[in-house]
Amino acid sequence: MANHRAERVGEDIERELAALMREMKDPRLHDGIISIVRCDMAHDLSFCRVYVSSMNGLDTAKKAAAALKNAQGFIRRELGTRLKLRYAPALAFEATDSIEYSAHISRILTEIDVPPEEEETDDEET
């Protein structure tokens, strides 16, 4: 049986965490385009693993994850008040290069030179 509440709370945490990152003044969070890719919630809502990615690469994402880990107490308190949770989940931040990877794939796909398909005519020889 799927736990839909954990999925909903994970999505809420993802949204509020993105808003909190804009408000925080740590320069490691404003190095480039930094995004929360995914939040995996435990079914009992006690733990949340947050995946952070950056357009500038994995090193920038690691710095952002370290900044978020340093501010974990503040973030946890803010999430508890904003989402009106009885117990705010423990947070673990993990860097990933998914945004950089998807941008790389997009560049490869745009570089492929595909010839236009030949137009089919309705005049068929019989």
53-110: pLDDT as tens digits: 988 888 988 999 999 999 999 999 999 999 988 888 999 999 988 877 787 888 888 8
**Full domain range(s) for residue 19:** 4-108
CATH number at residue 32: 3.30.300.20
Q: What is the pLDDT at residue 1?
A: 40
**b/e burial code for range 108-126 (CB count within 10 A of at least 16 → b):** eeeeeeeeeeeeeeeeeee
Q: What is the number of other CB atoms lying within 10 angstroms of the CB of residue 82?
A: 16
- Tokens linked to 31: 């190095």
Structural domain contains residue 101? yes
In a domain, 56, yes or no: yes
Q: Please, which pLDDT band fits residue 119 given cuts at 50, 70 and 90?
A: very low
Give a yes or no: residue 114 inside a domain: no
The whole-model pTM stands at 0.76
Q: How many domains does the chain have?
A: 1
